[in-house]
Amino acid sequence: MSEPTYRAEAVRVRVPASSANLGPGFDCFGLALTLHDVVEAQVVADGLDLSVDGEGAHTVSRDGRHLVVRAMQECFARMGGAPSGLRVHCTNAIPHGRGLGSSSAAIVAGIVAARALATNGPDLIDDEGLLRLATEIEGHPDNVAAALAGGFTLAWTEPEGARLIRLEASPMVAPVVFVPDTELSTRKARGLLPKTVPHSDAAANAARAALMVEALTNNPDLLLVATEDRLHQDYRGPAMPASLDLVKRLRADGVPATVSGAGPTVLALATQDSADQVAGMGGEGWTVHRLAVDAAGATLL
């Protein structure tokens, strides 16, 4: 493999938020959403010049521990060598610790920017290599798949690494997210899951996950049934009771609603006709975003 050579000009990468699981598709389904982080990166003579605006500006690291920088360095290593220095500026709109894929967006932004800085980057690591690397860093493929490819993604892992299939969501689907003020770490949320589940619950989720593919792509009328889950949401309830209460209230009114990823954000898969009404159903304590499905995924601007 040839050595990487790096361009002098800056690159800008826009990466969407994502909602994982979508109810029954635990660690498999991902949906890219039109809420974006933007990263600008440039090779400099030496050192690291890192700045952050927006979400996390007062809390994230300003050194090599920053997730975008870590992902860039992992990608540089995969390509065969790092440049002498970097200037990186992050403009963040995706809330941190809310179940909207902020860490996956940071990872994807970092590896896409790193590859773009190398004049021969696509020859050194292809799109499948980016997905495998992002999954290795994140630990699971659902959010990074959606952030990379956009649209509605099905992701899984094989011995060689992660893979994905990208599908087009129905144009009738209008995602609405309800974001609370409180954060919840993915590690804590995963720690609440049992080691085993009843066979009947596993079978029910398998059926709903299969139905979800048809519902989200072709037949949104099936979304309320297709988003039913028995594997993870109720077990995580003690960590986010308000989120589970909102999910139940929305579903009781016929709105397909789930916990977004590990939570505590709630995702409602409304229709174009009902989105405004659904957006007003959260009540106090929620920041509401009426979004669309992001079809582009990670994009060089």
CATH of the domain at 257: 3.30.70.890
CA 43 and chain centroid, separation = 27
Q: Is the pLDDT of residue 27 over 70?
A: yes
Q: What would the pLDDT profile of 129-170 be if each residue is shown by its tens digit?
A: 999 999 999 999 999 999 999 999 999 999 999 999 999 999
Mean pLDDT of 173-183: 95
Reported pTM: 0.95
Scan for tokens 């997730």, then name that residue: 67
Percent of the chain with pLDDT over 90: 89
* Number of domains composing the chain: 2
Q: Is the pLDDT of residue 187 over 80?
A: no
CA-to-CA distance for 68 and 55, rounded, in angstroms? 14
Co-location of 161 and 267 in the same domain: no
Q: Is residue 5 part of a domain?
A: no
Residue 136 burial (CB count, 10 A): 15
Co-location of 53 and 197 in the same domain: no
Co-location of 151 and 183 in the same domain: no
Mean pLDDT of 101-123: 97
Host domain of residue 200: 173-290
Scan for tokens 């590990």, then name that residue: 262
Mean pLDDT of 10-38: 97
Q: Is residue 26 part of a domain?
A: yes
- Which of 43, 42, 92 lies closest to 67 in space, CA to CA? 92
CA 262 and chain centroid, separation = 11
Co-location of 179 and 155 in the same domain: no
Q: What would the pLDDT profile of 189-224 be if each residue is shown by its tens digit?
A: 788 888 999 999 999 999 999 999 999 999 999 999
Co-location of 205 and 280 in the same domain: yes
Co-location of 246 and 205 in the same domain: yes
What pLDDT score does 184 carry?
A: 78
Co-location of 52 and 97 in the same domain: yes
At how many degrees (to 10) do helices 102-117 and 142-149 cross? 50
Co-location of 129 and 187 in the same domain: no
Co-location of 93 and 179 in the same domain: no
Co-location of 130 and 180 in the same domain: no
Helix, strand, or coil (residue 234): helix
Co-location of 136 and 179 in the same domain: no
Q: How long a stretch of residues is the chain?
A: 301
Q: What would the pLDDT profile of 60-71 be if each residue is shown by its tens digit?
A: 988 889 999 999
Co-location of 199 and 90 in the same domain: no
What pLDDT score does 1 carry?
A: 57
